[in-house]
Amino acid sequence: MLIELRGATKRFPTGTGGIHTVVRELSMSVDSGEFVAVVGPTGCGKSTTLSLVSGLEPASAGAVSVRGAPVTGIPDGIGYMFQTDAVLPWRSVLDNVATGPRYRGTGKREAREQARDWVARVGLAGFENYYPHQLSGGMRKRVALAQVLVTSPSIMLMDEPFSALDVQTRALMQGELLRLWEGTGAAVVFVTHDLDEAIALADKVVVMTAAPATVKAEFRIELDRPRDVEQLRITEEFLAIYRKVWSSLSEEVDKTRKMGDRK
């Protein structure tokens, strides 16, 4: 088992002296090379799950382990793609992608060589010397993706990476992600609130409950690979799976809405 969470709980002290539980008693596992999508109502604590695995936040209770070892710092081979832009605005596309290798002690020229290769692979050849503000939202996501992939991670954590994009660009980037991921053998934990996206990408969809989040159900997605994300969406198989998972997810979405109303 590559990633394992057993009864993981995360609590934060609130400003008013109380305690806020974001994730409670969460248990799930991810095999190596597996693409797992985590879906749940907005604001239920999906992102926190990723922070626990990445070691950015320690768990308050329960166990989180990567490759059998408990997570105390940032485990080796982790790549993380954030929801909002995390590319460095003061570095060119090429230098942004070279950031990871440079931090890991690769020489400047060698790091740039690796970066140049990945910039081309994500389809940004010719844009090496552009600054992020000169790129579109979709292109910035490509930079972020290359920045993660250049470190050849064995685990990729993705926190709603495409949620800020328009529908067409999002579908395009989903296709790109699958294309780039298929060669790497990396495990992916992909957090999203978009069930369409979850089913189209993943081998396994984990449905979370309303806050505080825990696992409600898991669904295997038996769709063939390689997948054509846009074509897939209108097939009967896809729709059947969608209906099944949605019946589980919709209850939690309703609960979240009601909580919102009471506030």
- Does 100 help bind another protein (rule: CB under 8 A)? yes
Contact 230/171 with Cβ under 8 angstroms? Answer: yes
Which residue in 217, 160, 189 sits closest to 52, CA to CA? 189
- Among the candidate windows 9-17, 96-104, 174-182, 219-227, which touches another protein by CB under 8 A? 96-104
- Does 227 help bind another protein (rule: CB under 8 A)? no
The least distance separating another protein from the CB of residue 105, rounded to whole angstroms, comes to 8
Question: For the residues of 18-62, what is the DSSP string, one character each?
Answer: -EEEEEEEEEEEE-TT-EEEEE-STTSSHHHHHHHHHTSS--SEE
**Tokens for 160?**
């709603």
- Does 91 help bind another protein (rule: CB under 8 A)? yes
The least distance separating another protein from the CB of residue 92, rounded to whole angstroms, comes to 8
- Does 152 help bind another protein (rule: CB under 8 A)? no
Tell me the C-alpha distance between 151 and 128, whole Å.
Answer: 18
Looking at residue 174, its amino acid is Q
- Does 223 help bind another protein (rule: CB under 8 A)? no
Applying CB under 8 A, the site for another protein has a residue count of 24
Tell me the C-alpha distance between 148 and 157, whole Å.
Answer: 10
* Beta bridge partners of residue 206, listed in sequence order: 38, 218
The least distance separating another protein from the CB of residue 83, rounded to whole angstroms, comes to 8
The least distance separating another protein from the CB of residue 86, rounded to whole angstroms, comes to 4
Q: Which of 88, 120, 164, 217 binds another protein (CB under 8 A)?
A: 88
Q: How far apart are the first and last CA of the chain?
A: 41
Our CB check for another protein shows the closer of 48 and 151 to be 151
The least distance separating another protein from the CB of residue 53, rounded to whole angstroms, comes to 11
C-beta atoms surrounding 183 within 10 Å: 9
Our CB check for another protein shows the closer of 134 and 250 to be 134
**Tokens for 149?**
């992939």
Our CB check for another protein shows the closer of 47 and 214 to be 47
Q: Where do contacts with another protein occur on this chain (CB under 8 A)?
A: 54, 56, 74, 78-80, 82, 84-86, 88-92, 99-100, 103-104, 131-133, 147, 151
